């Protein structure tokens, strides 16, 4: 895909293809009625979420970067002209402000945004999830740095956020969680 090449050349972070295929298969198996993506960037991960989206289902993508979001909208519209409708929505802005204002519940969520905000994302979603909703969080291993005792000052907040997220989804009665060693690691949680 040219979007991958473009993102790579501009050093824009995007998911590994392995994660993309996982998302695509998850959508095929779960058949979600409503998907929320936190951190859709230029739309590469959105592509994998939407390609197996059932006909009457909806997708909502949030990203802080308006320019990348415009690329995502155009990419998804050109990739899926038959699916692109009012059922596919993109929101520019801070996810922590947008999520509470959304007037629907979701049965599948993909989180791949600011790592230090992962704990806040999951907590803001608690009243926005359908029973048995699937929540997938990317970059849980953070290049293996979550396992290291000493990390750079630059990575401190991101690693702290990921560790808090992991603690919340594994100790909370709200979720049953599993970790998969694909891409940079993903956490797969079911909302109980």
Q: Which residue has the tokens 């298969």?
A: 25
pLDDT, one tens digit per residue, over 145-184 is 888 888 788 889 999 999 999 999 999 999 999 999 999 9
pLDDT, one tens digit per residue, over 75-93 is 999 998 887 778 899 999 9
pTM of the model: 0.93
For the chain, the domain total comes to 1
Quote the domain boundaries for residue 137. Answer: 2-191
Picking from 103, 120, 132, the residue whose alpha carbon sits closest to that of residue 191 is 132
Write down the pLDDT at residue 2. 66
Long-range contacts of 20-25 (CB under 8 A, 24+ apart): 20/44, 20/45, 20/47, 20/48, 21/48, 22/136, 22/180, 22/182, 22/183, 22/186, 23/48, 23/49, 23/110, 23/136, 24/48, 24/49, 24/51, 24/52, 25/52
- CA gyration radius for the chain? 16
Mean pLDDT (whole number) for 99-117 = 97
Can you give the CATH number for the domain in which 152 is found?
A: 3.40.50.150
């Amino acid at each position: 895909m040219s979007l991958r090449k473009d993102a790579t050349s501009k050093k824009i972070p995007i998911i590994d293809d392995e994660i993309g295929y996982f998302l695509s298969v998850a959508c095929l198996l779960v058949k979600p009625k409503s998907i929320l993506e936190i951190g859709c960037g230029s739309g590469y991960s959105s592509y994998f979420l939407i390609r197996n989206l059932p006909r009457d289902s909806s997708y909502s993508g949030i990203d802080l970067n308006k320019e990348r979001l415009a690329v995502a909208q155009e990419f998804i519209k050109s990739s899926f002209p038959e699916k692109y409708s009012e059922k596919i929505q993109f929101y520019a802005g801070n996810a922590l402000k947008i999520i509470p204002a959304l007037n629907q519940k979701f049965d599948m969520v993909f989180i791949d945004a600011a790592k230090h905000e992962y704990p806040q994302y999951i907590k803001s979603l608690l009243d926005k999830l359908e029973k048995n909703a699937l929540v997938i969080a990317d970059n849980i291993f953070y290049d293996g740095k979550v396992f290291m005792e000493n990390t750079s000052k630059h990575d401190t907040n991101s690693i702290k956020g990921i560790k808090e997220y992991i603690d919340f989804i594994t100790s909370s009665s709200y979720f049953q969680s599993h970790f998969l060693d694909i891409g940079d690691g993903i956490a797969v949680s079911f909302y109980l």
